[in-house]
Homo-oligomer: A and B are copies of this chain.
Amino acid sequence: MISRKRIIYSKEFVGEIQLTDFEIKTDEISADLTENEILCEALYFGIDAGLKMQAQFYPTGITMISGQIAKVIESRNNDFPKGSVVYGKFGWQSHTKLQPDVLTNKTFCYILPDFGTHSVSLGLGCLGLTGNAAYFGLDLCGAKPGETIVVSSAAGGVGNHVGQIAKINGCRVVGIAGSDEKCKWLVDELRFDDAVNYKSGLFPSKLLDATPNGVDCYFDNVGGLLSNAVILRMKQSGRIVVCGSLSVSNIKVGDKIPQMAELSRNFIFHELKMEGFVVWRWANRWMEGIERNLKWLDEGKLKYHETILEGLDKAPEALIDLMKGKYSGRVVVKV
């Protein structure tokens, strides 16, 4: 028998996530496997703002959802030999036993490609879902060399990656983030052309200064009023991709947030396009994204910033702090 530790999504998220919304449980599971089963041990959990929205689709009482990097510690499946390292949507739990039927679903679980000398934790970040959301989302946006792209939540895992690829592609990149420190990092370290702290000063006027020639593309991680202000700066045939909606993540049923009325006028007159996406749309090109990002990483063209928090129990706090804007870059919990 194996002692399994799980963090349960025990109370429905209403407004800001609370520590009391979670419960830690320990139970025993058998280590015996039937044919084609495998047993995994968690190495890292991925922490990102999207988890809140996604959890809200499930009933409480389940293991809190998230992606993890795990090691196969027992195997009766030739496709997943003992010792291999996988990405899997196993949630916040220390051990996971997997039946053969789910193992054929490559959007649920796959063996990590060879990352060379890089940490396998990057399989949750720039060499996984985060990096692929950036890579394919930016492709959907169709930002051309010379065009101005604005990225919201630009210091976040997806945002900072998007900005860096857009720079590689020859765009003028303007980031929006929630502190001067984050903005400084984006400009000084990641070579963004400009970055605007939306929490200081009059945001629309600072955005105007940062985008004197208007905005061609907008990679939106936050939604809400901030996004409306960006959309109002958009030019003819501008393109918006909607990857996240962090700014409205604490909204409760019945709440309303303000929208600027000029929005739909600008949509018409500038013939804007906006499209939402879930990164698994590109499941059949998944490895292409990872390999492309790995190449940029190895060439030194792509940097990543990873915050590693130690201990399975830290996951709820990490998520709460992330949604309050505490971190830059990708956040993972080392189990």
**A interface list, Cβ under 8 A from B:** 53, 220, 223-224, 227, 242-245, 248, 251, 255-278, 281
Contacts and interface: CB of A to CB of B under 8 A. Distances in A.
Q: Can you tell how many copies of this chain the complex includes?
A: 2
Given A53-B265, A248-B264, A251-B261, 8 more contacts: A223-B265, A242-B267, A256-B258, A256-B259, A258-B258, A268-B277, A272-B276, A273-B276
A265 B250 CA distance: 12
B278 A223 contact: no
Interface class of chain A by DSSP: mixed
Contact of A261 (B257, B267, B272): B257
- Nearest first, the 10 closest Cβ-Cβ pairs linking A and B are A259-B259, A223-B264, A267-B276, A251-B261, A245-B264, A268-B276, A248-B261, A256-B258, A274-B274, A242-B267
A227 B266 CA distance: 15
A259 B243 CA distance: 19
Contacts of A268: 53, 242-245, 276-278
Contacts of A227: 264
Contacts of A266: 276
Given A258-B256, A258-B258, A260-B256, A275 B271 contact: yes
B261 A271 contact: no
B263 A223 contact: yes
B248 A255 contact: no
Contacts of A273: 273-276
A223 B263 CA distance: 9
